[in-house]
Every structure is written in C-alpha cells, then in structure tokens.
Structure 1
C-alpha cells in the first residue's frame, strides 16, 4: 500500500489535472468571457515576453496559468482598424476603416451582426468599458443628449466609454451613451475643423501643459493636456487623466458584480498605454523607463483587479480571460515623455522589427494570453492566429451558427485558441499603411507605388516598411526581418501575391 502522504499527493495532482484538462462540450459551453484589450502594448512589453525595467506580475501569473501565444496578431497596426475587425470579423480595409477623430460617426454598420450580437444570441449579457474609438452618432453627435448610434446599436447591453482616445476631445466619459456628470447649462460643443473658444489652446498656452507635444496635439487643453481637436463646455464632466484606470476598473468590476449569475461578455478596453501617458501617483516611478513604463505597471494593476474580482466571486474557473493588444508599440506618438531616451535595454517589440503604424511584424504581433482554468492546460502556443478569428471561434464555442454574411473574414480556430491544436491559420493578412501576408514562416510585404514616407510618420521615428520592391522574409531564421530574400524566391513571391490578391480583390482574382 502507498503511504497516506503519497495517496494525498496523488489525489491533489489528479484533481489539479482534472481542473486544467476537463473536456468541454463544444457548442454547449457558456463560460464568462473577459476580453482585456490594451492600447499600444508591444509583444515585448510584458514580463513573460522579456520586458526589462518594468514588472507585470498579474499578466505573468495569467500566462503561467493559461496559454501564452507567440504568433497571434491584431489585424492592423493601428487602433481603429483593429477594433473594427475584432468586433465585426471583417478586415478593416473592406470598410476603409482608419484612425478617426473624436467626432466621427459610428463606422460599424448597425445592420451587421457583431461579436457582441452573436454572444447575446447565445444568452450572454454584453458590456464594453473603456476606449471606444469606433465613432459615435450619425455624423454630428449630440453630446448633450443620448449619442446614437453607438455600442447599444452594435450589440452591447452596457457601455462606459472614453469616446475616442485620451489625446482627442471630448475628454468626458459616456455611460450608456450619455455624458457622465454633464451640467446642461454648460453644454458641450466639439469641432475638429473650427476653433472653439472654450478651453485654452495648446499653441497659445504652453505654460499650462504637463507634457509638451507636437503640432498635431495643440488643440484644447483640459487637465493640463493639450489634445487633438477643439472643445467647449462640459466642465463638470471632464475626466482627470490620472484617475482613468481607477474609474474604468471600478466600472468593469461593477459590470461583473451585477452579471455574475449569468454568462457575460466584458470587453475591457484599457486606455493605457496610449499617449498621453499620465500615470497615477500610485505608479509614478514603478518602472525605470519613465511614464511609458509606469503606465505598463498601471495597466498590469488593472488586470490584477479584474482577476481578483473574479476570484472573490468564485468565477475564475469558468471565465475565459483573453488578454491582448490592439497594435504594436510606439515610443514617440506626439507627447514628450522621454520614452525613447529612457527605454534602455528594453525592447517593446521583442526581437521583432517594426512598431505601431508599421507593416513589419511588431506592428501586429501582439502579446496574447488566454486563461480558462476549467478547459485550458497551461503552456505556450506557436499557432498562427488573428484577432479577426475570435468571432467565428467563440461562435463555435457557444454553439452559434454564422450566416454567410456574418464575420466574412473570420476563420474558426477554436482548438488552436484553447491550446488543443498546434496549428492555426494557413495564411494571415497584416494591415498597416501597406499590406503584408504571413504563410508559415514566410512574411511577404506587397510593394507600394511610392516608398516616400509621410512626414507625420517620420516624426514618430517609425519605419513603416514602405518599398517599391517586393519584400520577403523567412521569420524562422530572420525574425527581425533584416534580409529581404524576395529576389531568391520569385515563385514564393508570386504565390503569396496571388494569395494576397484573393483577399484584397476576391472578385477580380477568381
């Protein structure tokens, strides 16, 4: 007979194995789904992927208990297109989606069935908390009433939003599409074309600024930050940048609390680590990289708060947490916070070349972790995956059939997302200000008509990957895309261009 201690040990090992390896019934599972979407976080910006100078203990813990993906991608190297593709299952170029102003109309067709629509059909309560940046209203938003259409019209039961980004007006929160704390006697007006004499202007009052900035961000000043665009009114509703992570996390946890008894989908869309990077005093000097590193630590705290809430409610075992980012890292995106000077040995994109705005790998290769203790064994996955596929994959999980017009670019790779299969996509599209295609270890970048780089990109110290010649790289031997081998493999170049044409111009390619 085994000693009692051995029996107990065997019991605990078996119990742990059952927790992590329980077979799930595809099509009948209804785990809570929390999608944590970080802004401008690079592949190398988290501890488990090699971060230097900042610690991310909560994210690292999530990775240890879940799957850390090494080759998972946002669909685009900028925020609005990535968010559009994530929620619609459609490539952004099909709708000419690009970075939009804070007064832009909603860019998602309300007739489209979205990811939250699909989950609602499966019995989920859906909520979005945080950065939106997908447009609101029909072209001239009524900031002093209900702003519609918005999240509700595309499938979200609840919303608490930053309308665009922290560097754009209006600098107010919207809850269920109404400005929070607004005094109607001080009505809000917003313009991106005409100056409004409401708040001081960055070009005229640099002495009021917490951070100096480039010419693009020299519009209205609120809370000591000069933004893109002009705003007047709404003084009682203005946010305080240093409080944003606390406000958003409290709202996200409240949504979990209210909906804990039934399946819920929470799209927790953090503002960090987008500029302006204004860390709360709690996180100032939490890193050795200045404000950019400090807000990485701040973002990690937000992740920890969500996990802690799920644990307290005994929900963590049956909650799928998806942690990822909308596009690659950027050190200088307009505000002077010395990120380039203080980066040290840290590599925001890891070993990969590129950044936000770039077609090279770091532009779309995202830190991506999925944890679901009930169904996922911890590990690392090298499967090639795209965020556009989350729509079809989650539909498979919850038993929702997609119509032909639903999520037209989304492929179902549920087993790969759950770590039960090592292979994902055969080919994967990458969008920036150029187009790239991944196929196995090969990366192809389609030539542009001109390799001239716009001045606004040059000022951000970014290499967007523009070339009038085709570019081909073998990422297995050259992950930093340093040697163009297109001339050595003309057949591969032609094949990958044909595959890319089938995506970009399907009718013409047939």
Structure 2
C-alpha cells in the first residue's frame, strides 16, 4: 500500500523544481508520488456551489473538498468555451496559439497533435497509468471518421492508457460511448452514419417530427432525435450503441470507480470529465425536482453526489490520503443554451455567476473565472487562496511534482500556490472567448476594443465586446461595472504593453 508523501519530501520537491535540471532524477527515485485526479465539470459557474457562497443550492460533497483543501478565489480556465479550455488544460498551451482551438463540431478531427507534449504523456512517463472518463470534445480521427471501425487518433494517442468518452458532446451526434477508440455495443449490421450538413432520407428530426420531442429545443438543436431529445447533427443507425441520457452520470461514475479499483496499487492519473450541468440536462430520476431549480440545478446536485461517491471509493480502497484532487470547471455558466428546460424561470435567487459579470462565451470574468479547489490530505491545509492560478499551469506544476521536465512557454510552475505553500500564483494571464483575448494582470483586467455584438442574444449573456478599450480593477470592482480606461490611461497603456509582449 502506498503511503502519503511527507512534508519533508514535499519541501524537497519545491527545492528540486527550482533546480530541476540538477535534481529531477533524484525526485523520481525518492518521491512516493500521489495519485492525481482532475474533476472537470461542464459549464459550472463560479457561484454554483455552496462553498463559493451559493445559498439556494447545497453541494456538501464538493464542499468537503473545499473545506478540507484549498479554495481559490482567482482560479481560471483559459477560455470561456469548452474545446479551447480543455485543449489548454491537457497541453499547457494557450488556445489562441492554435487556430483550430474553437468549439469543435461533432465530427471534427483531433485537435491535439499526437507529437505534442500533454499532461497524460508527462504522467505516463513518470510511471502513472492514465485514463480519461467522460467528455472529451477535442476531436477524433484525422478527417472523416468511420464510426464503425477503430477511431484513431484520439485520447489514447495523446497519452491516455484508457479512454471511455462521449463521441463529442451530449447534445451532438453520434450519441454513443467510445472505449479506447471503439464504439461501445456497436452492431456492425446496423452501422452508424453521421452527417452535420444533410439529413438521411426518412430520418425524423425536431423540425419534421416535433411530436417525437420530449425536450423542446430553443436554438440550434433541431436535428436528429435520440431518447426524445433533439441534437446537433444528423445520425442514422447504431441503435444498440445509443446511450441512455438519464443514466450517463451513473455510467461514467461506474467507469471511474472501476479504473481506480484496478489501479489502487499503482500510481494513477484520472481525468474525470463530467458532463454536468451542460445541456441537455438529464439528471437521473432520483435527482429530478430535488433542487427546485429545474434540470440544471438537479444536474448540479447529481454531480455533487458523484463526487461524494468517488471520494467514498477512494477512502474504501485506502488510497484517498495519497491522492491529489483538482476540482474545476471548463468555463463559466449559461442558463438557456439550446433547450427550454426552465433554467431561467426557476433560477430564483441563485446567481450562477457568483456576483461576476458575463458567463459562458464572455470575456467578462464569469466566462473564465471558475470554481477551483485542490485537495490532498496531510499535505494541503484547508484554507482560501487569492493566488492567480489557471488550469494551463497544471502541466508545469504537476510535472514538477512528479519529477519530469516540462518544455512549456505558457504553462507556469506554480506548485507552491496549488498546494498552499505560497500566496503567489502567476503574474499575468491571457483569457479567451470565441477567439478574442483579454489580459488579467494582478488585480486588473484589460479588454481590447473589438467589433461585434455586446450581447449574445441566443443565450442572453454579455460578451464583453465593445468598440473601445475596457479597464477594470477587480479589487474594488469585482462586478466590472466601472470602466477606468479613460480615467487611468497610464495603467491602460501599461496593460496593453504587457498584453502585446505576451502575445508576441
């Protein structure tokens, strides 16, 4: 049985990280490394958890991580949308450096170059068995995907020993699970066909057969119908392989538990990419109505329960004390993101943004500032940190922890901040929303002038786009109500200079 790392060894890690070329091999020989789990939720907002101040919803299991670990008030994803955000988390590279790092279609090719450095590759090299379970949404294959054969390249080709994923997203076709490149339960006599431009002859859609729809679409989700839910894109065949939406959370949780059980005596890395509370929100019937906020709130309660069950598994297998858990979200919140599900009507006093401005798709704070918790019994003391941290820094920081060298420009080694040994995180961070970028530096945010709509009317969220520069001091104006660009030209010019230098 593995034992917890001692504070002495952790101190040695910090010292060696500062001199990694000299001491990295010594670290690998002497350090009893922790298991690592990243729990990444989907569209969970900064204010969606009771540990972050929510009063209308209770998330006791996630609160346990926060109350016994380190809760960050300045934790960020790199992007306000999922594919770019997930790209950065796994590669340590800003999404704006890759022109393809946008919200991917369901049939998009793999976004990550198979020769690229990735977090699972790094941990694989350090002796970890690695797995992704849940949402991928980083593309599959190298062009047109044949869903009826082994699909490659994919997660297994960028460092994951095990992958059990959604083909794309829950609201996109094909509505099937993929295990190590193969569609689960596929009947080859009923092959899967997918087209994102044209429907297949005779196949029902939300437009042609609205009587088959049990979840009404609002925008963009009116193509093929599966389990009464209209999706993005057209699909034919693969009936035996189609998932059950209401059982998805249980299904992924079971796979996560199985992976932990089979690796309890080895070092393991689990990227548990949960689908909640992304649309379509389909909580299991035992959670329906429990939040009083409709399916979105119920899905958050379901996700909290999943986290609790995962913690129970770790404890029962006697590996919890030697496990580092990072809890976060891929981007900020959105209420109506394609379906009528009463997320707006039943919101009540709950504020998914937690007092921030914007949301998913936005350059304002609520787009990229997300829940961020680190938990490691016996190593990370409970507390709250104001350090500026980002998911992009997990690559360099975890590389330092396990004694592997990292070649990264964007990812910073802030392991001391992640473990609560320092209040100093990164100095500057470039955030992104739909290919537009802005700068967080210290307590300040600068958003350049952009052409475009200040409101995303489909989801009713402010985009952060204005035809003039914006400058906000988050220390005194957390809600970004007072643009100081004209009042403080010296600070604005200094921010612009930093921004240009970082992007050069």
Q: Secondary structure at the match of 1:436?
A: strand
Question: What residue is the counterpart of 2:131 in the other structure?
Answer: 127
Give distance in 2, aligned partners of 1:197 and 1:299.
Answer: 38
C-alpha displacement of 1:214: 2.6
Contact 2:5/2:32 (<8 A) preserved: no
Q: Secondary structure at the match of 1:44?
A: coil
C-alpha displacement of 1:408: 2.7
1:70 to 41, 65, 73: 73
Give distance in 1, aligned partners of 2:7 and 2:134.
Answer: 33
Question: What residue is the counterpart of 1:91 in the other structure?
Answer: 94
1:55 to 46, 58, 62: 58
Q: Secondary structure at the match of 1:231?
A: strand
Give distance in 2, aligned partners of 1:361 and 1:21.
Answer: 35
Moved over 4 A (4+): 18-23
Return closer, same or farther for 1:22/1:293 CA change in 2, 3 Å cut-off.
farther
Question: What residue is the counterpart of 1:419 in the other structure?
Answer: 420
Question: What residue is the counterpart of 1:477 in the other structure?
Answer: 476
Counterpart check, 1:171 vs 2:175: yes
C-alpha displacement of 1:489: 1.1
Give CA deviations for 1:101-156 in whole Å, capped at 9, x if unaligned: 11100010001011100000100000000000000001111210100000111000
Give CA deviations for 1:368-423 in whole Å, capped at 9, x if unaligned: 111100311111111001110010000000000123xxx33101000000000001
C-alpha displacement of 1:452: 3.0
Structure 1 residue runs without a partner (length 5+):
1-17
Contact 1:29/1:397 (<8 A) preserved: no
Give distance in 1, aligned partners of 2:292 and 2:464.
Answer: 30
Give distance in 2, aligned partners of 1:64 and 1:23.
Answer: 24
Question: What residue is the counterpart of 2:460 in the other structure?
Answer: 461
TM-score (norm 1): 0.92
Structure 2 residue runs without a partner (length 5+):
14-26
Question: What residue is the counterpart of 1:14 in the other structure?
Answer: none
Question: What residue is the counterpart of 1:320 in the other structure?
Answer: 324
TM-score (norm 2): 0.94
Give distance in 1, aligned partners of 2:230 and 2:179.
Answer: 24
Q: Secondary structure at the match of 2:312?
A: helix
Within 5 A, what are the aligned runs for 1:11-160?
24=10, 25-26=12-13, 27=27, 28-96=31-99, 97-160=101-164
Counterpart check, 1:204 vs 2:228: no
Query: RMSD in angstroms over aligned alpha carbons?
Result: 1.4
Give distance in 2, aligned partners of 1:421 and 1:200.
Answer: 57
Contact 1:42/1:349 (<8 A) preserved: yes
Contact 1:197/1:232 (<8 A) preserved: no
Give distance in 2, aligned partners of 1:453 and 1:354.
Answer: 10
Question: What residue is the counterpart of 1:7 in the other structure?
Answer: none
Q: How many residues align?
A: 482
